[in-house]
Amino acid sequence: MINYLSLLILQGATDSRVSSAWDGIKQPDLSKFLVIAALLFIIGVMGVLVRRNIIVIFMSIELILNAANLNFIAFSRYLFNTGSPNAIAGQVFTVFIIVVAAAEAAIGLGIVIALYRNRETIWVDEIDLLKW
Amino acid sequence: MTLTGWEAVFFWVFAVTALMAALLTVLARNAVHSAMFLISTLVSVAALFILLGAEFVAGAQILVYVGGVMVLFLFVIMLVNVGAEERGKEAIFNRTPQVVASLLFSGLLVIGLVIGINQGWRAIQERDERDNRLVEVQVRRAQEEQALPVAATNTMKITRDTERIGNSLYRYASLPFEIASILLLVAIIGSVMLARTIKQEAVTDDLDPEVLKEAAPLITERADLTEG
């Protein structure tokens, strides 16, 4: 019985389609990182579009920036392994993205505090001063 | 570039953790919970950075994001959100048509991106297979990795990642580096200016006279409060 099962599994593993999918899971490559980064990005976009709380919207923006960072690092590693002369540029760019994200968070949260002091709300659909 | 063995296992662990925590960040009702889930996403992504051999960026991510930005977020949540938390019944999502529309378009984006990434990656793999230069590059990288010094704990080798980032940062990106420092200075000054109270603005004589006239009772009231 066990022999039969193992035979089945082995046959399944030698089937080219099954084995390629299983290899993809067993040995994640650049494309897996890109898919994870894309999903993170989309979850961030969803957060920006769907939530009413302005602080959670800022957090979603951080998610988006982090997805971009993951993309940069994955490509940096890929280019390093394929012998690109300046593959480290991706990591340097990521450092700058982190700096910009920190500055953005500081300014954005300052605006949130000023807004809360004047309007007493953090729900974005109630912040409609610029609407006609 | 493929991860094998335990690296692959940890890749899936941290990837799934990052995605689940990101989803919970968006879905959590309490903003403090959102911040906590965002912290676990950021830590998981930092672990993915380490799997990709970017130790410096992983450290910077944990120090700057988790240690700095998220603490700032938590401070602001606790300054701002008390009333909203107590109300509790407040809807956390936008109106249903907006939510449905954004879900629809995000679903399309997911499908498009995943298909695009897979096709592009297949094309890249085919190109790489045709490129016979790559074999010697891989041999050279393996030799370089063999030559690295072993850490004192004898568990792994000391990589040159941070050294290479430092070199690149100061050689090729020194102007952007200085601009980034000015950006940070502007951000500090800007957030201090933005977060002042009306009384602090009045003290530095930085108010429109009409606003000052309107706000005068408020200011004296607050002054009484602070004196009392």
Ramachandran bin of A94, using left for φ above 0, alpha for ψ from -120 to 50, beta for the remaining angles: alpha
- Separation of CA B38 from chain center: 9
Q: Which residue has the higher pLDDT, A117 or B63?
A: B63
How close, in Å, is residue B194 to chain A by CA atoms? 6
Minimal-distance CA residue of chain B relative to A60: B26
pLDDT digits (tens, 9 = 90+) for B80-132: 865 555 566 777 888 889 999 999 999 999 999 999 999 999 998 888 888 87
**What pLDDT score does A124 carry?**
86
Contacts 24+ apart (CB under 8 A), B88-94: B90/A52, B90/A123, B91/A52, B92/A51, B92/A52, B92/A53, B92/B29, B93/A50, B93/A51, B93/A52, B94/A49, B94/A50, B94/A51, B94/A52, B94/A125
Q: Touching check for B32 and chain A: CB below 8 Å? A: no
Q: Which residue has the higher pLDDT, B201 or A94?
A: A94
- A51: pLDDT strictly greater than 80: yes
pLDDT digits (tens, 9 = 90+) for A55-87: 999 999 999 999 999 999 999 999 988 888 888
- B228: pLDDT strictly greater than 50: no
DSSP string for residues in chain A: -HHHHHHHHHHHHHSHHHHHHHHHHHS-BHHHHHHHHHHHHHHHHHHHHHB-BHHHHHHHHHHHHHHHHHHHHHHHHHHHHTT-TTTTHHHHHHHHHHHHHHHHHHHHHHHHHHHHHHH---BGGG--TT--
Mean pLDDT of the region B64-78 = 91
Minimal-distance CA residue of chain B relative to A104: B187
Contact A89 B191 (CB under 8 A): no
Contact B194 A26 (CB under 8 A): no
**What pLDDT score does B194 carry?**
85
Minimal-distance CA residue of chain B relative to A88: B165
**What pLDDT score does A7 carry?**
54
Contact B183 A99 (CB under 8 A): yes
- Separation of CA B88 from chain center: 28
Contact (CB, 8 A) for B25 and B37: yes
Which residues from B are below 8 Å from A17, CB to CB? none
Topology (CATH) of A36-126: Helix Hairpins (1.10.287)
Mean pLDDT of the region B127-152 = 82
Across chain A, mean pLDDT equals: 84
- The whole-model pTM stands at 0.85
- A126: pLDDT strictly greater than 90: no
Which residues from B are below 8 Å from A104, CB to CB? 187
Indicate the residue of A39, A81, A105 with minimum beta-carbon distance to B1: A81
Mean pLDDT of the region A22-51 = 90
Q: What is the ipTM metric for this complex?
A: 0.85
Mean pLDDT of the region B193-198 = 81
Q: Touching check for B21 and chain A: CB below 8 Å? A: no
Amino acid symbol at A78: Y
Contact B197 A117 (CB under 8 A): yes
CATH classification for the domain delimited by B1-90, as one of 1.20.120.1200, 2.70.98.60, 2.60.120.620, 2.102.10.10: 1.20.120.1200
**What pLDDT score does A9 carry?**
54
How close, in Å, is residue B155 to chain A by CA atoms? 22
Q: Where are the domains of chain A?
A: 36-126
Contact A83 B133 (CB under 8 A): yes
The mean-pLDDT minimum among A20-24, B31-35, B83-87, B186-190 falls in B83-87
Q: Where are the domains of chain B?
A: 1-90, 93-158
Dist. CA A82–CA B134, nearest whole Å: 6
**What pLDDT score does A5 carry?**
55
